[in-house]
Structure 1
Amino acid sequence: MTKEMFVQISDFKLFAKLIGKNNGKPTIVMDAGYGDYSKTWDLIISAISMLTEVLIYDRAGLGKSEKSSNPRTSSVMVKELNELLKRAKLKGPYILVGHSFGGLNMRLYASEYPNEVCGLILVDSTPEEYREKFLPTMSIEFQEAYNKQFVYESNYDEFIESLKQVKESRRKLNVPLIVLSAGKKAHYPKESQELWNEMQKEFLRISSNSEFKVAENSAHYIQNDEPEVVIEVIKSLIEKF
């Protein structure tokens, strides 16, 4: 079953898609990376929707969603998502899945609404200390390209503000957490790849019940390079319920 909807949030509408059916397992809510939207899950969505009901959506100004006059920071995006879930009448607690920047949002959601979350999966998620700790290990060209990308959604200052918001809201969670790290980023020097995996591993501290897995043959988009790995991880979490 697939249901598409445009949901009114303050002065704009968010596009969302509900796939699969509620079978007593938690609903999965998925958030894409920076500048990405719901299409990022295309290769895995049908397999996951066989397991339970899944909500994918486009953040404001991306995909089919309208632009918002609200600031584009994680705290605002998380409030908008919470409003979307309420208006779509989806009952929690949810399993949250976030890729890259979407991982920041999902972590913040779990901190802000702990009673509405029963599981968290971070897919090569952005660490809060990305700029200070990781970016300096990369080439000047990479750093310049990285800093110039902030034109699709939040601007650079809003992105930095989002990192700060997630860092400040960090709290210990009591839900199962699975951290999935990309292990084969061709443009990363060996030291940077090792540091990236270490920084991903640090996410394990977020929850008292956490596990870590490296997708050995994946670059940043694990859901495209090794879709079966992401499907398996989600399946293993759903089976806990």
Structure 2
Amino acid sequence: MKRILRWAKRIALALISFVILLLIAGFIFERKSRHDAEKINPDGNFAVVENHRLHYYKKGNGGPTVVFETAFDPAGHLQWYNIQKELPVSYTSISYDRAGILWSERGKNPKSGVKMAEELHLLLEKAGLPKPYILIGHSFGGTLVRFFVNKYPKDVGGVIFVDSQCPDDEKYLSPELFKMVNQGLPSGFLKFANTFGLARLMFKDMFPSGKEYEYQNSIMPALLYKSADAVLEEQDQMGSIKIEASKIKSFGTIPLVILTAADDNRYENVIKEKKNKMEMINAWNKMQKDFLLLSSDSKQILVPNSGHYINQEQPKAIENAINDMVFKISNPK
């Protein structure tokens, strides 16, 4: 019996030693990776916004200016990178990294919807981009767009929601499903993983594989150590941001286009119970349709063969909606 206990202690000690060695190796790997990432040149420009720099990627000249707002996502402007490349240069388009994400500095402003809208507006002013602005918001980005429209309506020429998040989704979902879809990322574990090199491996292939997304799949994990804290901070504030956004119920006469994912199998990999899948599909469709009430000039476009990430699965639908909106604003009746 004593011999068994002695061997058990030795095995436990060996396992603990092995785990410690792995953590040390991961810590060293992470520090080297961060050192290498500092040498990566930003693909855009910077504007100083309230004593910190925000990074943005601009294409084209002249008005109107198409402004991309990213979802709850550590990839920042990279989510729009391929779409922006396909847009004509006859008008301006800009994507950016919110404070603390990718190349943007965190600054000291709170992660509130109003403050993020103010930072974006100041960025557009500092960059000297022509008005009016056409705002494109994907998922959480659609929620953030509401604050911009509410605060600067005269500067906004149009809005496009890309499978936008509904800030008052609790009204549409059962308590069980609401809790499931709003549980968020495990903050403590991700902070630990970010310290020891695991996070960059976990998010290594966040974009689809293939040559088309090679750039995004190299930059996003390389700079994840910068983005992770800011994204988790946005998650911490998500509840209060949604509450405030739900109070913004009208865009007035500002044109609004609602792009809605229409693949009935889009929740196959994220929701197991068939009953919950059907509830989510029906509730999401109702939320999206109700967005029509935000503007007296609104329309919904269902995007077939696409899940939530329309920007990756059906980018042409977004490009077409943008070009149509630009034409509408540039050629008023």
TM-score (norm 2): 0.66
How many angstroms does 1:140 deviate by?
Answer: 6.6
Indicate the larger mover: 116-125 or 47-56. Answer: 47-56
Tell me the amino acid that sits aligned with residue 27 of structure 1: T
Secondary structure at the aligned position of 1:197 is classed as helix
Greater helix proportion:
2
Residues 27, 172 of structure 1: alpha-carbon distance in 2 compared, 3 angstrom cutoff: closer
How many angstroms does 1:141 deviate by?
Answer: 5.7
Q: Report the equivalent of 2:312.
A: 224
* Structure of greater Rg: 2
Give me the CA root mean square deviation: 2.2
**1:56-67 matched pairs, under 5 angstroms:** 56-67=95-106
Separation in 2, partners of 1:157, 1:95: 28
- CA deviation profile, 1:33-86 (whole Å, cap 9, x unmatched): 012400001221122244521011000011110112211121110010011011
- CA deviation profile, 1:64-112 (whole Å, cap 9, x unmatched): 1011221112111001001101111113111111111111111221111
Separation in 2, partners of 1:15, 1:113: 21
The answer to whether the 8 A contact 1:15-1:58 is kept is yes
- Does residue 166 of structure 1 match 2:242? no
| Equivalent of residue 207 in structure 1, options 291, 295, 316 | 295
| Equivalent of residue 72 in structure 1, options 92, 103, 111 | 111
- CA deviation profile, 1:124-144 (whole Å, cap 9, x unmatched): 111111245337463976554
Q: Report the equivalent of 2:284.
A: 196
How many angstroms does 1:163 deviate by?
Answer: 0.9
Tell me the amino acid that sits aligned with residue 160 of structure 2: I
Separation in 2, partners of 1:220, 1:132: 20
Separation in 1, partners of 2:177, 2:72: 19
Q: How many residues align?
A: 236
- Does residue 11 of structure 1 match 2:51? yes
How many angstroms does 1:13 deviate by?
Answer: 0.6
Secondary structure at the aligned position of 2:173 is classed as helix
**1:29-40 matched pairs, under 5 angstroms:** 29-36=67-74, 37-40=76-79
- CA deviation profile, 1:211-237 (whole Å, cap 9, x unmatched): 001112111110100011111111111
| Equivalent of residue 65 in structure 2, options 12, 18, 27 | 27
**1:2-151 matched pairs, under 5 angstroms:** 4-22=44-62, 25-36=63-74, 37-134=76-173, 136=175, 138=177, 142-144=181-183, 146=184, 148=186
The answer to whether the 8 A contact 1:223-1:230 is kept is yes
Secondary structure at the aligned position of 2:128 is classed as coil
Residues 97, 139 of structure 1: alpha-carbon distance in 2 compared, 3 angstrom cutoff: closer
Greater strand proportion:
1
Separation in 1, partners of 2:300, 2:176: 23
Secondary structure at the aligned position of 1:118 is classed as strand
- Does residue 182 of structure 1 match 2:261? yes
The answer to whether the 8 A contact 1:71-1:158 is kept is no
State the identity as a percent. 29
Residues 135, 9 of structure 1: alpha-carbon distance in 2 compared, 3 angstrom cutoff: farther
How many angstroms does 1:10 deviate by?
Answer: 1.5
Secondary structure at the aligned position of 1:217 is classed as coil
Secondary structure at the aligned position of 2:67 is classed as strand
Residues 180, 113 of structure 1: alpha-carbon distance in 2 compared, 3 angstrom cutoff: same
